[in-house]
């Protein structure tokens, strides 16, 4: 089973403020896939097979990495978001990170 809780050194966002590397890392953990195969253009449901349980796991992982997201509901985070890149952009705005 994958460790989705994160580690103490994983609490900081990626250098440069972009959420994409962090998001790719967490998606990779949930799917147990190599990060090189995960690109911003991939659709979470259609391409990666994310279901509701995986989305909840992802939300928990992202909350551990970006504490500002703890106040957001799952629909707030994912409504209208379909790709890894779109979700990364939303996370950056929600977490107050500089958008790359």
User: How do residues 78-100 score in pLDDT, each as one tens digit?
Assistant: 777 899 999 999 998 888 875 54
Domains of the chain in start order, with CATH, are 13-95 (1.10.1200.10)
| Closest CA relative to residue 28, chosen from 73, 58, 67 | 58
Q: What is the mean pLDDT of residues 63-86?
A: 87
Q: Would the pLDDT of 72 be above 50? A: yes
User: How do residues 28-54 score in pLDDT, each as one tens digit?
Assistant: 999 988 877 889 999 999 999 999 899
Tokens of 48: 């990666």
Q: Between these two residues, 66 and 11, which has the higher pLDDT value? A: 66
Q: In sequence order, what E strands does the chain have?
A: none
pTM above 0.85, yes or no: no
């Amino acid at each position: 089973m994958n460790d989705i809780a994160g580690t103490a050194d994983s609490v900081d966002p990626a250098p440069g403020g972009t959420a994409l590397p962090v998001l790719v890392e967490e998606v990779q953990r949930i799917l147990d896939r190599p990060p090189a195969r995960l690109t911003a253009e991939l659709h979470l449901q259609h391409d990666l097979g994310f279901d509701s349980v995986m989305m909840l796991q992802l939300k928990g992982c992202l909350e551990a990495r970006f504490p500002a997201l703890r106040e957001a509901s799952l629909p707030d985070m994912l409504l209208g978001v379909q790709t890894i890149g779109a979700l990364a952009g939303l996370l950056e705005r929600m977490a107050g990170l500089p958008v790359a």
